[in-house]
Amino acid sequence: MFDPTAYENIKVVIEGDIYDRDLSGEIIVIDRNDWINTAKLSRKYEISFTKRGYEPNLLSAMMTIEAGLENLSAELLESVDAKQLAGCKVNISFSLFHKNDMDVFKEIQKVLENIWGRDRAIMQTAVMNPLENKSRIQTHAKVSFNRLVFEEQIDDLSEMIDYMIASLEKLKKLLSE
């Protein structure tokens, strides 16, 4: 038997915490993807959810964890220098439909900065068909932490789920205005 890597341990904890919240009725899991890239020896896990009562195609949150070959080898080789790479990347993102208005983009940014902090990289990407003159567009807002997450920080990831839910609630309120 082998010792699971940080990626596997973090994935199991995240998945369990999110599905526990789904079973309790707090959220609804709407998608899950689990990839292994054998060409690059990397792994990626995504799980998406929304709040119960929200329209999933209008507002949702997603947590992504990723580990590459350098992360896996750092754990397997167990050298002192490699320990700093023995973790995984975690990203949080939100997908929402809203009025195509610059003020809405600014408000989304403000909501996410207030919850996640100004030291986080928050990138918004608008998705639209330029040939259609629609008043509503889709935005993907990604919160990046620009560092690896290690097994010792697993409890912080549960707290991140709380922040994701709070973000959904604040974004829903913003979109309702």
Strand bridging mode 121-127 / 136-149: antiparallel
3-state secondary structure of 12: helix
3-state secondary structure of 90: strand
pTM of the model: 0.91
Q: What is the pLDDT of residue 125?
A: 97
pLDDT digits (tens, 9 = 90+) for 53-100: 999 999 999 999 999 888 887 777 766 666 778 789 999 999 999 998
Domain spans, the chain: 6-176
Q: Which helix (H) or strand (E) holds 100?
A: none
- Is the Cα dihedral 55, 139, 103, 112 positive or negative? positive
Nearest CA to 45 among 57, 31, 56? 31
Across the range 136-163, mean pLDDT stands at 90
Confidence of residue 1 (pLDDT cuts 50, 70, 90): very low
Question: Can you spell out the DSSP letters for 24-67?
Answer: HTSEEEEEEEEEEETTTTEEEEEEEEEETTS-TTTEEEEEEEEE
> CA–CA separation, 144 vs 126, rounded Å?
17
HSE-up of 11 (CA within 13 Å, CB side)? Answer: 20
**Arithmetic mean of pLDDT over the chain:** 90
> Bigger pLDDT: 135 or 40?
40
